[in-house]
Amino acid sequence: MNYLLIFIAMSGLLYSNANANIPTIKVKIASSLKSINIHGQNLKRHLVETGRKKDLPGKSSIAFNCSKVAWKNWKKRPQIFAVIEAEKNVLQWEGHKYLGKIQVQTAENYKGCDLVNEIDVEEYISMVLPKEMNASWPIEALKAQAIAARSYALYKIRNNFVTKVKGYNTHYDLENSEKHQVNGNYSDITPKTIQASKETRGEILINGKEEKLPIFFHSKCGGHTFLPEEVWSNPVTGYEKVQCPYCYGHGLKNWKLSLKDHTFMNYYKKALNRYQGKALTNNSKGYRLFKNNEYDPIVKLYGGPQKVYSVKKSRLRSTLTRKNLPSNNFKIKIGKETINIEGAGFGHGVGLCQFGAKEMALRGYSYKEILKHYFPKLKISKVY
């Protein structure tokens, strides 16, 4: 007997029509598939191009040969050509179970099919939590994460973000990846993740202008957070840098990286050129680094009178790779012939520190107090 299925059904989360006012989200779960086989009980198939809808009583699988998809309208990419549903709202693909609908569409790279899972936001949040945090963590930490993830998702949906970035209608709101948010599937849901979703149902963070925001989170800040514009490009109204004494002792320990000075300079030049279109001469002897600590979001380089160059730490991190620089929280020490980097934390360092949230919850803080610490200028709003 599947006790989790019974629990979900009793919680009212399995059937979307039980929560009709909850918005749905479309999440891309796979790309460029050559073939697809979707399983479920009493399947329903909607062929979008012809408009044909068909109930398939007793039908347990539907297959698509994506290598033979007819690209009649290839300039209008991508195109949805089928939507699949199941009687009990549970579909299976590649051994993974998904709630809601599965949308089959032509791939964005013109090769095969992409799969999109359409699901209600609260069910989605219950699957995000065990992947973006940890289902065994204290419930108050999970609830803080639920609000952060829901805020991020609803912001992307409202602003049609992915379609605007791509420049064409993608027919989905988010990707199931570190680029956006990682979500699991039906099998990853636990009673605790359902509880965190239900007890924060419809709650998001907004700023003083009542605006929905992209709420960011990361694994471990290492002692302090950054502003969005210090890591990426655009500022987000309402963010504030905060100290975090809570994540110490959790997750990745402090780390170090030592590079020959000419090696570091090559990476600096590469980052400067890639992100700012600026170039330095091949001779690096005339340049020297400014003093730098872990709170500085940029690394400055002196190149002579009226020649000061600046590169964001996040850009150096991208250039040196995340494996070498696990976070943006680092300081640079200049040796005789080396550049020594000492850092703490893991991730971009903006917004909610997940290990900090865990420690705060262990100390008895509520999810509202946790969010207030990391987002002191924002407030919780219930939007449905």
Residues 144-184: tens digit of each pLDDT: 999 999 999 999 999 999 999 999 999 999 999 999 999 99
Question: What's the token pair of residue 382?
Answer: 């219930």
Q: How far apart are CA 326 and CA 319, in angstroms?
A: 12
The interaxial angle of helices 354-362 and 367-374, nearest 10 deg, is 140
Q: Are 195 and 12 in contact (CB under 8 A)?
A: no
Q: How far apart are CA 10 and CA 168, in angstroms?
A: 40
Residues 110-131: tens digit of each pLDDT: 888 999 999 999 999 999 999 9
pTM passes above 0.85: yes
Residue of 108, 112, 88, 94 whose CA lies nearest to 38: 94
Give DSSP secondary structure letters for 38-81: EE-SSEEEEETTTTEEEEETT--EEEEEGGG---TTTTS---EE
Structural domain spans, the chain: 3-201, 204-250+348-382, 255-343
Q: What is the CA radius of gyration of the chain?
A: 24
Max CA pair span of the chain: 78
Say what the pLDDT of residue 4 is: 54
Q: Are 115 and 64 in contact (CB under 8 A)?
A: no
Q: What percent of the chain has pLDDT over 90?
A: 75
